[in-house]
Amino acid sequence: MSPAAIILAAGLGTRMRSNLPKVLHPLAGRPMIQHLIGACEAVFGRIVIVVGPDMPALEDAVAPREVVVQRERLGTGHAALQAAPFLGGHQGDVAVLYGDNPLISAATLQALVAARQSAGLVLLAMRPADAARYGRVVLDAKSEVARIVEWADATAEERAIGLCNAGVICAPAQDLFRWLGAIGNNNAKGEYYLTDVIQQARAEGKRVVAVEAPEAELRGINSRAELAQAEAEVQRSLRAAAMAGGATMLSPETVHLCHDTKLGADVLLEPHIFFGPDVTVENGVTIRAFSHLEGCVVKQGAVIGPYARLRPGSIIETHAHVGNFVELKATTLGAGAKANHLSYLGDAMIGAGANIGAGTITCNYDGVAKHRTEIGEGAFIGSDTALVAPVKVGKRALVAAGSVITDDVPDDALAIARGRQAVKPGRGFKGKGKR
- The verdict on 79 binding ligand UD1 (CB under 6 A) reads yes
Q: Give yes or no for a contact between 134 and 148, defined as CB atoms under 8 angstroms apart.
A: no
Applying CB under 6 A, the site for ligand UD1 has a residue count of 29
- The verdict on 75 binding Mg ion (CB under 5 A) reads no
- Cα separations in angstroms, 26 against 23, 96, 181, 234: 8, 22, 34, 11
Nearer to Mg ion, 194 or 285 (CB): 194
CA dist., res. 131 & res. 280, Å (int): 39
Out of ligand UD1, Mg ion, none, what residue 164 binds, judged by CB under 5 to 8 A for its kind, is ligand UD1
CA dist., res. 320 & res. 334, Å (int): 7
Minimal distance in Å, beta carbon 88 to ligand UD1? 18
Minimal distance in Å, beta carbon 175 to ligand UD1? 18
Judged by CB under 6 A, the residue of 3, 6, 11, 317 near ligand UD1 is: 11
- The verdict on 165 binding Mg ion (CB under 5 A) reads no
Helices (H) and strands (E) counted in the chain, each on its own, are: 10, 36
What one-letter code names the amino acid at 362? T
Q: Which residues does the annotation mark as catalytic? A: 341
Applying CB under 5 A, the site for Mg ion has a residue count of 3
CA dist., res. 349 & res. 351, Å (int): 7
Minimal distance in Å, beta carbon 65 to Mg ion? 21
* Those residues with Cβ within 8 angstroms of residue 274's Cβ, 6 or more apart along the chain or in another chain: 256, 291, 292, 293
Minimal distance in Å, beta carbon 118 to ligand UD1? 23
Q: How many CB atoms lie within 10 A of CB 53?
A: 10
- The verdict on 100 binding ligand UD1 (CB under 6 A) reads yes
- The verdict on 200 binding ligand UD1 (CB under 6 A) reads no
Judged by CB under 6 A, the residue of 30, 34, 65, 74 near ligand UD1 is: 74
Q: Give yes or no for a contact between 266 and 282, defined as CB atoms under 8 angstroms apart.
A: no
Query: Could you tell me which stretch among 52-60, 100-108, 149-157, 187-195 binds Mg ion (CB under 5 A)?
Result: 100-108
- What residues between 135 and 194 interact with ligand UD1 by CB under 6 A? 135, 148, 150, 164-167, 193-194
- The verdict on 75 binding ligand UD1 (CB under 6 A) reads yes
Q: Give yes or no for a contact between 183 and 193, defined as CB atoms under 8 angstroms apart.
A: yes
Query: Could you tell me which stretch among 36-44, 96-104, 270-278, 417-425 binds ligand UD1 (CB under 6 A)?
Result: 96-104
Q: How many CB atoms lie within 10 A of CB 369?
A: 9
Out of ligand UD1, Mg ion, none, what residue 73 binds, judged by CB under 5 to 8 A for its kind, is ligand UD1
* Those residues with Cβ within 8 angstroms of residue 355's Cβ, 6 or more apart along the chain or in another chain: 337, 338, 379, 380, 381
Nearer to ligand UD1, 104 or 330 (CB): 104
Q: Which helix (H) or strand (E) holds 179?
A: helix 173-182
Out of ligand UD1, Mg ion, none, what residue 10 binds, judged by CB under 5 to 8 A for its kind, is ligand UD1
- The verdict on 73 binding ligand UD1 (CB under 6 A) reads yes
SS3 157: helix
Nearer to Mg ion, 21 or 220 (CB): 220
Query: Could you tell me which stretch among 98-106, 247-255, 317-325, 388-396 binds ligand UD1 (CB under 6 A)?
Result: 98-106
Nearer to Mg ion, 125 or 333 (CB): 125
Of 141, 205, 193, 184, nearest in space to 165 by CA: 193
SS3 content of the chain, % helix, strand, coil (to 5): 25, 30, 45
Nearer to ligand UD1, 137 or 242 (CB): 137
Q: What sections of 290-408 are H helices per DSSP?
A: none
Judged by CB under 5 A, the residue of 108, 165, 222, 286 near Mg ion is: 222
Nearer to Mg ion, 28 or 227 (CB): 227
Of 395, 388, 390, 431, nearest in space to 412 by CA: 395
Judged by CB under 6 A, the residue of 50, 213, 399, 409 near ligand UD1 is: 50
- The verdict on 220 binding Mg ion (CB under 5 A) reads yes
| DSSP sequence for 231-294 | HHHHHHHHHHHHHHTT-EESSGGGEE--TT-EE-TT-EE-SSEEE-SS-EE-TT-EE-SSEEE-
Per CB under 5 A, residues contacting Mg ion are: 100, 220, 222
Which residues lie near ligand UD1 (CB under 6 A)? 8-11, 50, 70, 73-76, 78-79, 98-101, 134-135, 148, 150, 164-167, 193-195, 220, 222
